[in-house]
Homo-oligomer: A and B are copies of this chain.
Amino acid sequence: MDDQTKALANPKERSPTEPVRSRWTPKPEQILILESIFNSGMVNPPKDETVRIRKLLEKFGTVGDANVFYWFQNRRSRSRRRQRQLQASLAAATNTALSFYEPSPSSSSSSSSSNGVFFTCSSTSSASSSSSSCSNFLVDDNADDLFSISRQMTNQNSSYSSSAFSQLHFHPGYMTVYINGMASEVPRGPIDMKAMFGLDVMLVNSNGELVPMNEFGILLQGLQMGESYFLVSYT
């Protein structure tokens, strides 16, 4: 175990505003930062980077180096696990599979999508802390390649701060959500979908559920920070 991994956990200090918790609960902004860094390719920050990241995160709440370290470790582990799990579970059908495959003629690849617009992204949601990452399929879950990336990144100090993270500004009244995989700054309040997208579109959250919208195409409630949504045409 690296010395860098040695915990500097500071379990006690807790801002008076914070609820008494036995373990660190990352704030949404902190999750965004961490996800951004992770998805920007730095999946295994060295110790000094961990310290820098912790200092960044501290703008939004008490956090220790150990928390950051564990976060990345778990993030890597669970990404990889999910990846394997998916592979395995789907691979089960591979053997029985070929009999069903009929090389349908390429003549009509027309069937395209009856739906019209389809899109992207998903993730796990949760009311309080939505993790995840719509950009999963961008950089995430790629254990093998990630190492080369991280290896190549270990020396450049501020790469992440200029790539992914710096794009996320936290202006008041706005927040970042992911729509079709792209980070988007949206107002915190109700959103006029027609004004914003111009079409008859609806938003589907990462659970596949329609985001409630009134007859004027205005979302009844604000979106959830950091959450992922899909635009779906319903015309």
Interface residues of A (CB under 8 A from B): 20, 22, 51, 54-55, 64-66, 82-83, 85-94, 96-101, 103-106, 109-113, 115, 118-124, 132-134, 136-137, 140-141, 172-173, 178, 180-182, 187-190, 192, 194-199, 201, 204-212, 218, 220-224, 228, 230-233
- 12 further A-B contacts with Cβ under 8 Å, apart from A109-B194, A119-B180, A178-B208, are A92-B221, A96-B172, A97-B188, A101-B187, A104-B195, A109-B198, A111-B196, A113-B231, A115-B231, A118-B230, A122-B205, A140-B209
Distance in Å from the Cβ of A16 to the closest Cβ of chain B?
18
User: Shortest Cβ distance from A134 into chain B, in angstroms?
Assistant: 6
A208 and B118 form a contact (CB under 8 A): no
Q: Does the CB pair B137–A209 fall under 8 Å?
A: yes
Q: Which of B83, B119, B140, B199 contacts A230 (CB under 8 A)?
A: B119
